[in-house]
Amino acid sequence: MMKSAWSFPAMLAAALAMGAAVSSAQAETAGEKLYKQNCAACHAIAKDAPMGMGPNLHGVFGKEAGKLAGFPYSEEFKGALAGKNWTAELLDKWLEQPQSVAKGTYMMYAQPDASVRKSIIEYLQTVK
Ligand code: HEC
């Protein structure tokens, strides 16, 4: 049958592709992967990488909110967060519902899953 003539190389290619996927998944943590899926579209995180729609988040953990030079934070963000530091607790509230922390903020995102928020916050702590 035609099918058996090509099924072995096709299976081999699939197995190789799976192997590649597994090894790259091991190189990054769950938090980093979730960050890429949830945040990277708007937030660069590599040191000195240009800001996107949102501010660069390199080293944001523990810092004062709203301090990335040149980023046009909303008035609502500045009003609600001026002088506050990004602790794990504040980040958790922020990611769960930015609008409840700073009503009118430009950040259009919300993450209802506490375990996803926790992994992402743990990852942010490592990028400093
Ligand atoms: C759709 C785009 C978008 C997505 C997705 C997004 N953000 Fe934001 N984020 C923004 C914008 C825009 C701001 C600035 C808000 C303002 O000025 O009102 C912001 C602000 C922030 C700040 C404040 C930074 C500072 O300089 O004080 C943090 C922290 C943050 N986002 C974390 C995250 C994390 C973590 C994720 C993923 C779980 C995420 N954001 C997903 C757009 C986004």
Query: pLDDT tens digits, residue range 65-123?
Result: 999 999 999 999 999 999 999 999 999 999 999 999 999 999 999 999 999 999 999 99
For ligand 1, pick from 33, 39, 93 the residue to mutate: most ligand atoms within 8 Å of CB. Answer: 39
Task: Tell me the three state secondary structure of residue 100.
Answer: helix
Query: pLDDT tens digits, residue range 21-80?
Result: 545 545 789 999 999 999 999 999 999 999 899 999 999 999 999 999 999 999 999 999
Beta-bridge partners for 12: none
Q: Could you tell me the distance, in angstroms and rounded to a whole number, from the CA of residue 51 to the centre of ligand 1?
A: 11
Q: Could you tell me the distance, in angstroms and rounded to a whole number, from the CA of residue 64 to the centre of ligand 1?
A: 14
pTM of the model: 0.84
For the chain, list the domains and their CATH numbers.
29-126 (1.10.760.10)
Q: Cβ of 52: how many Cβ atoms within 10 Å?
A: 13
